[in-house]
Structure 1
Amino acid sequence: MQTLVIICGVYSLGFAGFHIAFWKLFGWKKDLGNLRFYNKAIMQILNLRLIYVFAFTAAVCFIFPRELATTALGKTFLAGNALFWLGRTIEQFIFLQHNSRMVRILTGIFILGFILFLLPVIF
């Protein structure tokens, strides 16, 4: 299970990198300029906080894989992350009702995150 926890760390680190690229990937310099200043700030602040959360989660997975896989506190941390990804999957259907290949791929990746973080909790 410790190996699976390390994989959860890699998964989280990948999402930190993905969110770092949001400004360029989604043309935020131009698109966010169309928002009111506070909405523009909120979008960027939330994204920066997500980068921190993903990087922190990755670090905890890399530094404490045994503890995460074997202790109640560790399993609670992993279960919380599993619920994060389950919630993110559900929100995908609520807020991004767009049937495109990329949306389907991302939905699958979010489901993968739910499963990855849940497996060490239940086994």
Structure 2
Amino acid sequence: MEFQIRVAGGLMVGLALLHVGFPRYFEWAGELQPLRLINRQMMYVHTLFIGLAVLLMGLLCIGYAPELVRTPLGRVVTLGFGIFWLVRLVVQFFVYSTELWRGKRFETVVHIIFSLLWTYLTGLFFAVFSH
């Protein structure tokens, strides 16, 4: 399990780093321009903090896998991580519209990859908690 926790940590670090490119990739400079300043800034700030939270989760998994697997506190932390990723998985299917990916090759591949990632992370952290 410790190896899987470290793998998950590496995946989360990579995911966190992807957040750096969101403003450019999603063309926020133009797309968000019609919004009020507070709403534009909230998009950037919330993206920063989600990216930071995912980065810190990843670093915790890489650096403290034995503690996460073997201690009661570690297992409670993994429960929290499992809940986080379960909610993200639910959002993938019940909040985002299928119009965003259906019939679009690249977007469909991304949807599938991230759905699998959210499922893997959810299952792993719940498995560690219940172990």
- Scaled by the length of structure 1, the TM-score of the pair is 0.89
Residue pairs, 1:38-49, within 5 angstroms: 38-49=38-49
Name which of structure 1's ranges 105-114 and 86-95 shifts more when overlaid on structure 2. Answer: 105-114
**Map of 2:59 onto structure 1:** 59
**Map of 2:22 onto structure 1:** 22
C-alpha RMSD of matched pairs (Å): 1.6
- Give distance in 1, aligned partners of 2:29 and 2:42: 14
Deviations 1:11-34 (A, max 9, x none): 210210121111122111211212
Tell me the CA shift for residue 87 of structure 1: 0.5
Instruction: Please say if 1:111 is aligned against 2:119.
Output: yes
Is contact 1:85-1:114 (8 Å) kept? yes
Tell me the CA shift for residue 119 of structure 1: 2.6
Identity %: 24
- Structure 2 unaligned spans of 5+: 102-107
**Map of 2:97 onto structure 1:** 97
- Give distance in 1, aligned partners of 2:124 and 2:52: 20
Tell me the CA shift for residue 51 of structure 1: 1.3
Deviations 1:32-66 (A, max 9, x none): 21221111111111100011101111111122111
